[in-house]
Chains A and B, each alone.
Chain A
Amino acid sequence: MKLVSLFLTAFLTENIVLTKFLGLCPLMGNSKREENAYKMGILVVLTTVLSSIISYLFYYQILVPSNTAHLRTLVFIFTIASIVGILEILIKKYFPSLYKSMGLYIPLITTNCAVLGISILTIDNAFSFLETVIYSLGSSLGFLLVIYVFSTLRIKMDRAPILKGFQGIPIAFITLGIIALLFTRYGL
């Protein structure tokens, strides 16, 4: 029961994008088209779950026993970059069409702060292994939900009559702010 509530908290009430404002760059950059948005979201889910599991193991098996816990940011970035590299090789081999359509955006997952943020938050909250898996899955699925919903909203926004100065990114940020306000109320 505790795990279910942890999952729902990470997924909705403490959504990584809407309450912690992590991962805004891929959200803004990759939500112009619906199909790219959900492909990006699924890749982020894979990367986040794998990297937070491996980061957790590295942190508690190597860094804490050897008294070098201050290295965690460096080691986590290292882990994330390598996992993205491995995923890129696998995608290139088994899903060439996905590789062609995503191409440049795959290595950019490395710089998605939500991925590093989730790894660090699991350590800061002192989660157990199972909780880490559930929390990272919930948070990254929350990212997938927001990026997909947001991409459908942006398609509507492109057609709507909006003042010239607000078109594109500005109105997207305003809309995201309004959604975030709703979610802040939710969490109280």
Chain B
Amino acid sequence: MIEIIILVALAFLFGSILIFLNACLNPLDKERDEVLKRLPGYNCGACGFGSCAGMVEAILKDKEAYLKCRPMRKEAKEEMKEYLENKKK
């Protein structure tokens, strides 16, 4: 029983430290994930940024960059536009 308590307490301690540090130091990470989720994820490189991760960096700098994505469908583009516009406010 005491083993379980010790391990759970340690997991809770380390987990909360990691979450807290990540939220404080890298606040853009969450946004990156959100943008990446809305990309097709083929990593084709047709946009010229190399991969979808490169595209995310470009979108964070320039909101129009997602228009260069070729395999992205129209509905997905609209969804992305909506997301980025809501982000501005």
Contacts and interface: CB of A to CB of B under 8 A. Distances in A.
Interface of A: 58, 62-63, 66-68, 71, 74-75, 78-79, 82, 85-86, 89-90, 92-93
Interface string B16-56: 01100110011000000000000000000000000000000
Contacts of B14: 78-79, 82, 85
Contacts of A92: 25-26
A82 B12 CA distance: 11
Interface in B1-18: 2-3, 6-7, 10-11, 14, 17-18
A90 B25 contact: yes
Contacts of A62: 6
Contacts of B3: 68, 71
B6 A78 contact: no
Given A78-B14, A85-B18, A86-B18, A71 B6 contact: yes
Binding site of A, secondary structure by majority: helix, strand, loop or mixed? helix
A62 B3 CA distance: 11
Contacts of B11: 78
Contacts of A71: 3, 6-7
A75 B10 contact: yes
A93 B26 contact: yes
B17 A86 contact: yes
Given A85-B18, A89-B18, A63 B26 contact: no
A135 B83 CA distance: 53
A89 B21 contact: yes
Contact of B10 (A78, A86, A90, A93): A78
A82 B18 contact: yes
Contacts of B7: 71, 74-75, 78
A164 B18 CA distance: 47
17 contacts: A62-B6, A63-B6, A66-B6, A68-B3, A71-B6, A71-B7, A75-B6, A75-B10, A78-B7, A78-B10, A78-B14, A82-B14, A85-B18, A86-B17, A89-B22, A89-B25, A92-B26
B32 to A, nearest CB: 11
A86 B21 contact: yes
A62 B11 CA distance: 14
B46 to A, nearest CB: 23
Given A78-B11, A85-B14, A93-B25, 19 more contacts: A63-B6, A67-B2, A71-B3, A71-B6, A71-B7, A75-B6, A75-B10, A78-B10, A82-B17, A82-B18, A85-B18, A86-B18, A86-B21, A89-B18, A89-B21, A89-B26, A90-B25, A92-B25, A93-B26
